[in-house]
Structure 1
Amino acid sequence: MDTRPEGAPSLRRPTVADFRSSLGLGLRDFLANPVTDLFFASFFVIVGLIMGWITYATGQTFWLILAVLGFPLVGALAALGFYETSRLRAAGEPIHFADVLRVVWTSKSGQLPWLATIIVVIFLFWFFLGHMIFALFLGLSPMTNVSTSLEVFLRPDGLMMLGFGTVIGAIFATVVFSLSVLGMPMLLDRDVDFMTAMLRSMSAVRDSFALYILWGIFIGVVTLAAMIPLFLGLFIAMPVLGHATWHLYRRVTGQGA
């Protein structure tokens, strides 16, 4: 029987202190439960390595640019394990890996997969649009291997493509961030449908746009920096950011400290 509260909670406007405190609590949760966190973080690292190997092995490392820029879009999909760990810790309940894994597995029959599907569709559409942007600006050039043909991107049309693509990618990232930053933890915390969670999250981001966007930029920069050493930095970055997202949600719903 589902014992979660029904309906979406009220969301207050966040403050800078909320983001700072959430990040500190996220780091604390990671240090308290490193084994469970490293297991869930390994999915990010493995997917990143596979993604890089495929694009390199096929000789089309141009796609690695799109994959790396779009990779944070799907970051919310594997964050449920971090949310559940933080929830148990805040409730003073014992944290067992099997229990956390069970919650993540049983969520497949709830509302979460619908929101996850939307994120994946946006990610795939970003790949398609990225190909169109490449064709628009560099249509007369072959699919470029970025490891051997960097000069192509330093030409005027290459720089224009990178600039235009960055703007479009930022729009995609903002949309996904807006619907997931509070929508994902809300689906774990409440008995609510995915459309309500998604719209309530986007409404909250709209009402405090500057603060949430700065938080989103911070997440994006940390995630991209963590990818540089063969994606290995994600072992730390993703758990800390995942826990911090849960604590931010708890604070703006009045449940946190």
Structure 2
Amino acid sequence: MDSHEESAPTTTAIATDLKLADLRTALSAGWADFVALPAYGLCIALAFVLSGLAFSYLLFMRGEYVWLIAAAAGFPVVAPFAAVCLYEVSRRRERGLPVNWGVVLQAVGGRGDEQILSMGVLLFVAFSFWTIVAHTIFSIFVVEAGAGSETLEFLATTLGVAMLLVGGIAGALIALVFYTITVVSLPMLVDREVDFLTAIITSLRAFRANLVILLCWAVIIATSLFVAIVSLFLGLLIALPVLGHATWHLYRRVVQPQD
């Protein structure tokens, strides 16, 4: 049997014994959901692919290559919100409930209490914060480099590489913070009638209790999204839905079922 934390009645019990095998199981279950109901994952991912390509084209035509990199690096911050509908697909398939676009899209509104929308606002603030950080880092290196620092060639210089390194570290730290508060909270808000602060606290507790395994899951997500993005976003057609469905199943393993 899975071990769970002893908790007060008002506190959600969480598993403390996650193993690497659980990540493989979650990915396998996520793939099964995607294969069984591919239209939902493909359509949701396609919307993000087209948005990403359009935004990238706009920045590229304006010669704002650095901002293209910053936008791509900030994608993991907002990606969890894109998976909300996928959580609902997995939830309904798991329980044998009918699945259609009406009920799937309603998942964005949560359980009628707008808690998921509140999380969406929080993620938007996070992305905006990352944009400010990226702009600050870019400005510092532009002043240091002087004229010509806004060209693509600048990225191949010592200062350009240093800027990418500093920006990458800053982006990774921001993404990690928001990963810790969303990895359990967003699927929990789809699954249960709880407020978003309770869901965030549960997510933080789960991350602390299973630090190594959930860090491994973060690496898997980040690596998959990176490969998907550098393939002109086309890899997102597979990576986003499979990871979304898999995250649902990992949540079901972490959070104790309600009586």
TM-score, normalising length: structure 1: 0.89
Report the equivalent of 1:240. Answer: 242
Percent identity, aligned pairs only, is 37
- Give yes or no for contact 1:41–1:239 (8 Å, CA) kept in 2: yes
CA–CA distance in structure 2, aligned partners of residues 129 and 188 of structure 1:
31
Report the equivalent of 1:231. Answer: 233
Number of residue pairs the alignment of both structures matches: 247
CA–CA distance in structure 2, aligned partners of residues 143 and 158 of structure 1:
8
TM-score, normalising length: structure 2: 0.88
How far did 1:54 drift? 1.8
Residues 55, 7 of structure 1: alpha-carbon distance in 2 compared, 3 angstrom cutoff: farther
Residues 7, 63 of structure 1: alpha-carbon distance in 2 compared, 3 angstrom cutoff: farther
How far did 1:131 drift? 1.2
What pairs with 1:104-115 in structure 2 (closer than 5 Å)? Answer: 104-105=108-109, 109-115=113-119
CA–CA distance in structure 2, aligned partners of residues 136 and 212 of structure 1:
34
- Give yes or no for contact 2:15–2:255 (8 Å, CA) kept in 1: yes
Which residue of 39, 55, 58 corresponds with 1:54?
Answer: 58
CA–CA distance in structure 2, aligned partners of residues 57 and 154 of structure 1:
20
- Give yes or no for contact 2:206–2:254 (8 Å, CA) kept in 1: no
Q: Cα RMSD over matched residues?
A: 2.0
**Cα displacement string for residues 24-68 of structure 1 (whole angstroms, at most 9, x for unaligned residues):** 000000000011221221221122112202211222121001001
Report the equivalent of 1:129. Answer: 133
Q: Which runs of 5 or more residues in structure 1 are unaligned?
A: 1-5
Report the equivalent of 1:250. Answer: 252
- Give yes or no for contact 2:110–2:117 (8 Å, CA) kept in 1: no
2:13 pairs with 1:10: yes
How far did 1:193 drift? 0.8
Structure 2 residue identity aligned to 1:144: E
How far did 1:228 drift? 2.3
CA–CA distance in structure 1, aligned partners of residues 120 and 207 of structure 2:
19
Higher mean displacement: 205-214 or 81-90: 205-214
CA–CA distance in structure 1, aligned partners of residues 11 and 148 of structure 2:
50
CA–CA distance in structure 2, aligned partners of residues 167 and 229 of structure 1:
22
Higher mean displacement: 55-64 or 237-246: 55-64
